[in-house]
Amino acid sequence: QVQLMESGGGLVQAGGSLRLSCSAPGSIFRGNAVGWYRQVPGNQRELVASISMGGATRYADSVKDRFTISRDNTKNTASLQMDSLKPEDTAVYYCNILGPDLTRPLFSWGKGTLVTVSS
């Protein structure tokens, strides 16, 4: 059972910033792409950012130019720097290891970390 752990969420005012962190077992992390997802209750989970093994990044249009995904292969962690936050960014954020198509999550979801952006 692969355990994914997210941290760094919290309450922030609109326009503020947060940095989320994701950790995964090294044997899995280093050889695969990583994605950050978010989910609002009642809605489907959506992929907001991904980073390949080599560092190539992709972003959903809704977060482009505001969020930055990065990874540290020496620490088996991936981060999501979120700037210029908006109330509509409020959600539970999850990370997962991605399949070769860079969109399909491979493992069970962790607990996620809640981000709340107040207006």
45-54 residue pLDDT tens = 999 999 999 8
* Residue 102 confidence class, pLDDT cut points 50, 70, 90: confident
Residue 37 pLDDT exceeds 90: yes
* Residue 101 confidence class, pLDDT cut points 50, 70, 90: confident
Residue 39 pLDDT exceeds 80: yes
- 106 in Cβ contact with 96 (< 8 Å): yes
Instruction: Please give the C-alpha separations between residue 27 and each of 5, 39, 43, in angstroms, as whole numbers.
Output: 15, 27, 32
